[in-house]
Amino acid sequence: MKLNYKRTLLVGMAFFLITAFWQAYDAIIPLILTNHFGLPQSASGAIMSIDNVLAVFLLPLFGTLSDRVHTKYGKRTPFIFFGTIVAIVSFVGLTLIDNYQIAKLVAAEIPSLQGAEGFVAEKTLELTLANPLPLVGFIATLLVVLVAMATFRSPAVALMPDVTVAPLRSKANAIINLTGTAGGIIVLVLGMIFATSKHAYMQYTGYVVAVCAVMLCGFVIFLLTVKENKWASEMEEETRRLGLDGASKPDAPAEKRKLTGAEFRSLMLILASVALWYIGYNSITSKYSVYATNVLGFDFNFTLIVAQAAAIVSYIPVGIIASKIGRKKTVLAGVLMLATAFCIGVFVTPDTPEMIMYPVFVLAGIGWATINVNSFPMAVELAGKGDIGKYTGYYYTASMAAQIVAPILSGFLYDVWGMRYVFFAFGAVFVMFSFVTMLFVKHGDAQKIESKSLLEHLDVD
């Protein structure tokens, strides 16, 4: 039993384009809302949470729908196709509305001062409220973008367990996350090239077009190489051959299985853990571009590249470690690393050399990779093979519900006490809460298949 790395990498191209989009979205949308429309952090946070509100309802819906769809292109591929096309077109359109707002600011001679408080933000908001049509158009277009992305996120993620036998899903998820992280790093490099952290009144159309070109590259590779139906059939055959999860019978049904009481409790604890660490993590990622630019005066792009690079290096080792010591223990170790990184970040000030932030984000990147590689397989491990899309939806419902809370609650606290003293502390507290809930999880580790030799265990011929 060996993981097909090439196949997994190609399946991961769907996650590649998803990650590329969200990296760009999290980088520029908070800056646009804050610097171009003059919104306070709480209002900006509320708008940033719209995608998560939609996702709570749409991800389980489209995950379940994709379970039931059967086409010659597969169950998941049609969702990926249509969602990607609509998302790319509307994302570019979003920047054109923003360009109109910038033109208004320039015409009104409102100075573009980075880190300015009071006067500039107040004048910008006054201009927005005097003619709210650009903001209304921006939010309406944003909704189209977010709905398009929501239609295919669960199907794209569910494709990995569709084509991978259960014991290999942590390793496969490492490859998927590795592929996604590569997309994120490319977008961060584009951010440095386009200097997205340097100009408060920057027009983002060129940057977004470049990001969409990266997304299209991943999209085309996926469409040309992934044979969803064929690969899913081969996975089912291997599952029967290995006698996993009662599938050794030739007529083993693709039926839904009912969880035992203990399994249900573990699922709820897994989802609670996911929600808690996402509240902590998203409160950092959704506003780090604002915090780094307006509070610390750092280039947020390079700092995030450091974190992504650390994650890339750790993805495959983390998958191997989980196969040795179990997913739960590995996740707990990742939670501790992430919480430690955020605790250290509290002590970074505008007077701290920027390079001090790099090891903090290295630790955060490794911790987040450790969590991500293993938490999703733990959730879908409890699903019957006819319910993988639904359980993928559950997983993302938990994460997205958390991300509704994160920007709104953290944004409110930033407005009350300031970002400087709340930013990293808020994230650290919620990540530490997730450690407690994860301790009580009893299910979700894969069935073990004994290797005949060390070389076989390492997937080496």
| Mean of pLDDT values over 59-67 | 85
**Is the pLDDT score of 13 beyond 90?**
yes
CATH 1.10.1330.10 fits 5-243+252-457, yes or no: no
Q: Please write the tens of the pLDDT for every residue from 190-220.
A: 988 888 766 667 789 999 999 999 999 999 9
Burial class (CB in 10 A: 0-12, 13-18, 19+), 456: middle
Q: End-to-end distance of the chain based on CA atoms, in angstroms?
A: 11
Among the ranges given (125-134, 215-224, 234-243), the one the predictor scored with the smallest mean pLDDT:
234-243
**Which pLDDT score, from 0 to 100, does residue 83 have?**
95
Residue 111 has a pLDDT of: 67
Residue 440 sits at φ, ψ, to 5 deg, of -95, 5
CA–CA dist 440, 367 (Å, integer): 20
Please give the Cα distance from 371 to 361 (Å, whole number). 15
Which pLDDT score is estimated for 47? 86
Q: How many helices (H) and strands (E) does the chain have?
A: 18, 0
Residue-level pLDDT at 197: 66
Tens digit of each residue's pLDDT (9 = 90 or more) over 140-161: 999 999 999 999 988 888 888 8
Confidence of residue 364 (pLDDT cuts 50, 70, 90): very high
The widest CA-to-CA distance across the chain, in whole angstroms, is: 74
- Report which of 161, 323, 166 is spatially closest to residue 239, judged by C-alpha positions: 166
**pLDDT of the residue at 1:** 64
Q: Over the chain, what is the mean pLDDT? A: 84
Nearby residues of 150 by Cβ (< 8 Å), 6 or more positions away: 51, 54, 55, 58, 59, 62, 83
Question: What average pLDDT score do residues 110-139 get?
Answer: 73
- Residue 3: the pLDDT is 82
Q: Domain-by-domain residue ranges, the chain? A: 5-243+252-457
Q: Tokens at residue 4, please?
A: 């097909």
Question: Which ranges constitute the DSSP H helices of 326-356?
Answer: 327-345
Q: What percent of the chain has pLDDT over 90?
A: 33
Cα gap 141→90, rounded to integer Å: 7
- Chain segment 172-189, per-residue pLDDT in tens: 888 888 898 889 889 988
Residue carrying the six token digits 């196709």:
81
* Interacting residues of 384 by C-beta distance below 8 A, sequence separation 6+: 254, 255, 256, 257
Q: Torsions phi, psi of 183, nearest 5?
A: -60, -40
**Both tokens of residue 12?**
């991961």
Put simply, whether the predicted model's pTM sits higher than 0.75 gets the answer no
Q: Are 386 and 255 in contact (CB under 8 A)?
A: yes
Residue 141 has what pLDDT? Answer: 95
What pLDDT is attached to residue 257?
62
Tell me the pLDDT tens digit for each residue of 265-324. 999 999 999 999 999 998 888 788 778 877 887 877 788 888 888 888 888 888 788 878
Residue 113, amino acid: L
Site of tokens 């997304």:
215
